[in-house]
Amino acid sequence: MPETFRFQSEGLQLSSHLEIPDSEEKVLPGVLLVHGFPEGPGGGANSASTIELKNHPRVGQVWLVGFGSGGAISICAAAKTSEVQGVGALAAPADWSAWAASPKRLLIHARRAGVIPDPNFPDDFDSWSADLKLISAESDISRLSGMSILIVHGTEDDVVSSLEARALSDAHGNTDMRLIEGAGHHLRHDPRAIAILLGWLDKQRRVNK
């Protein structure tokens, strides 16, 4: 049965769901799944904390796996902590320049999706919109030169160009990059992408035992 955790982070209450597989091993590798930006209410505005996962008594090393904007956030988060062993980023944008170019549209979308429930947020719109320009997976991934990175992208992604996958891979210099012919943006529904991800995670577990 999955365990549900609720904890505070920067004034927000976040929820996470932890699934512990049946195993005789006392300490297991952990994978933190980070969803992409929700498309509407119920799409999920919650995430989990690397620290919370790392502190679980049965979790040892931690890998981050993100889809869409969650992939970019995973890269940025890994650059800010020593607790992460590797990152899998699927259909991830290299930066948030598209949202930064239209912050009002992002704010409206986030409110409709339930990501920003406070009608008075942000207090300072100009500062908030300026901060969006600072979110760059392409910049942060260069700081992960010694970390194992998987980049997966669909050649027919009409939301995030596959050129952004190449930009991330080039900025890191030694990623495992896979382009899936004919695949679109929602790679969590593509069995080829999931097979690649599971194979990479299995290799990570064996190499880091």
Domain CATH number, residue 190:
3.40.50.1820
- Mean pLDDT for the chain overall: 85
- Per-residue confidence band for 21, with pLDDT thresholds at 50, 70 and 90: confident
* E strand or H helix that includes residue 14: strand 12-18
**The domain boundary residue, chosen from 134, 149, 184:** 134
Residues 11 and 80 in one domain: yes
> 134, 159, 182: which is the final residue of a domain?
134
- Both 181 and 200 in one domain: the answer is yes
Closest CA to 39 of 115, 103, 96: 115
Residue identified by tokens 């300490």 is 27
Note whether 27 and 59 are within 8 A (CB): yes
125 and 202 part of one domain: no
Q: What is the mean pLDDT of residues 31-47?
A: 58
Q: pTM of this prediction?
A: 0.84
- Helix, coil or strand: residue 74: helix
Q: Does pLDDT of 28 surpass 90?
A: no
What distance in Å separates the CA atoms of residue 56 and residue 205, rounded to the nearest whole number?
A: 18
Whole-number pLDDT of residue 112: 84
- Residue for token pair 């300072």: 124
Same domain for 88 and 156: yes
The answer to whether residues 111 and 196 belong to one domain is no
Q: Is residue 42 part of a domain?
A: no
In the predicted structure, residue 44 carries a pLDDT above the cut 60: no
Does 126 map to a domain?
A: yes
Residue 72 near residue 40 (C-beta atoms within 8 A): no
Q: Does 87 lie in the same domain as 57?
A: yes
Q: What is the pLDDT of residue 27?
A: 84
Mean pLDDT to the nearest integer, 58-77: 90
Same-domain check for residues 144 and 201: yes
Query: pLDDT grade, residue 172 (50/70/90)?
Result: very high
The answer to whether residues 72 and 166 belong to one domain is yes
Q: Residue 178, by phi and psi: left (phi above 0), alpha (psi -120 to 50) or beta?
A: beta
Residue 42 has pLDDT above 50, yes or no: no
Contact 86, 31 (CB under 8 A): no
End-to-end CA distance of the chain: 26
Q: What's the order of all strands across the beta sheet hosting 59-67?
A: 28-34, 59-67, 84-90, 148-154, 176-180
Return the pLDDT at 110: 84
Kindly provide the b/e burial profile for residues 34-73, where b requires at least 16 CB atoms within 10 angstroms of the residue's own CB.
bbbbbeeeeeebebbbbebbbebeebebbbbbbbbbbbbb
Please report the pLDDT score of residue 7 as a whole number: 67
Mean pLDDT: which of 56-65, 78-87, 103-112, 155-164 is highest? 155-164
- Whether residues 180 and 101 share a domain: the answer is no
Same domain assignment for residues 148 and 71 = yes
Q: For residues 144 and 180, state if they share a domain.
A: yes
Show the domain range for 80.
3-18+27-36+47-95+136-207
Region 5-11: mean pLDDT is 66
Does position 49 have pLDDT exceeding 70, yes or no? Answer: no
End residue of a domain, out of 134, 156, 185? 134
Classify residue 41: in a domain, yes or no.
Answer: no
| Same-domain pairing of 109 and 181 | no
Q: Find the range with the poorest average confidence among 43-57, 119-133, 140-154.
A: 43-57
C-beta separation of 1 from 22 below 8 A: no
The partner residues of 179 in beta bridges, in order of sequence, read 153
**pLDDT score for 162:** 96
Query: pLDDT at residue 142 above 70?
Result: yes
Task: Count structural domains, the chain.
Answer: 2
